[in-house]
A = this chain, B = another copy of it.
Amino acid sequence: MAKATKRNPERTKELIHKAALAEFSDRGYGGARVDMIAERAGVNKRMLYHYYGNKDDLFLHVLERAYEKIRTHEGKLDLATLSPEEAVRELVKFTFKYHHENPEFMRLLNNENLYKAEHIKRSKNIKQMHSPFVDLMMDVLKRGEVAGVFRKNVDPVQFYITVASVAYFYLSNIYTLSTIFGRKLSSKPALDERLEHCTDVVLGYLRP
């Protein structure tokens, strides 16, 4: 735990980061208020400009950290030791779980797409951070293909996007979908059912 001494730049920076993540995620870039970020962080607003420059740069910083976080978690998955089918199950489960437990990530991404990716286009860091999954996936898909349990010539990028899709769309649009279908899609049974469906879709597609 961080010492709460009178001066602590690391702690202050971290408080600002956390508050900014919450505020941008809650209200979007356009709806987020710099004053609110400072207030949520319990820090003087001037500090925010001192450490992060301005609102845009702070948003980019928050995005970079969010990408870093998911890539780190992805990197920890050990798909290579599993059978192709088990690896795919694990991948779908991880993707679903991660987005469910970290909805801020989807909210930031939606917002970044609203602004046509203008922030991450400027970011060297994020561009280099392509998912380790894509390489891993190539191996898993190849192994499945050779073993005769997966269909041939699956494009790993298309496949990655599809795995993300079936989890992301459900979780990101859960409020409108729940309202329109009159179902509580965020209940535990509904979430379990959706994960099972996602797994069925992905494995169903892969059958040769």
Chain A residues within 8 Å of B, Cβ to Cβ: 27-32, 107, 109-114, 116-117, 120-121, 126-127, 129-131, 134, 151, 155, 157-158, 161-162, 164-166, 168-170, 172-183, 193-194, 197-198, 200-201, 204-207
Q: Kindly list 9 other residue pairs between chains A and B, CB separation below 8 angstroms, not including A169-B169, A207-B207.
A: A31-B31, A110-B113, A110-B114, A110-B173, A120-B176, A129-B180, A165-B165, A165-B170, A205-B205
Counted per complex, copies of this chain come to 2
Asked if A178 and B32 make an inter-chain contact with CB atoms under 8 angstroms apart, the answer reads no
Closest to A30 in B: B31
Bound CA–CA A161/B57 (angstroms): 35
Measured in the bound complex, the distance between the Cα atoms of B192 and A31 in whole Å is 36
B161 and A169 contact, CB distance less than 8 A = yes
From B134, B175, B183, A113 is in contact (CB under 8 Å) with B175
Q: How far is the CA of A175 from the CA of B119 in the complex (A)?
A: 11
Nearest-Cβ distance from residue A198 to partner chain B, whole angstroms: 8
List residues of chain B with CB within 8 A of the CB of A204.
Answer: 151, 204-207
List of B residues within 8 angstroms of A111 by Cβ: 28, 114
Contact A179 B120 (CB under 8 A): yes
CA distance A193 to B162 in the complex (A): 13
CA distance A111 to B126 in the complex (A): 24
Q: Are B112 and A175 in touch, CB under 8 angstroms? A: yes
Give the CA-CA distance A54 to B107 in the complex, in Å. Answer: 25
Do residues B205 and A181 form an inter-chain contact, with CB atoms below 8 A? no
Instruction: Give Cα A126–Cα B180 distance, bound, in whole angstroms.
Output: 7
Q: Report yes or no: A179 in contact with B127, Cβ–Cβ below 8 A.
A: yes
Question: How far is A150 from B32 in the complex, measured between Cα atoms in Å?
Answer: 47
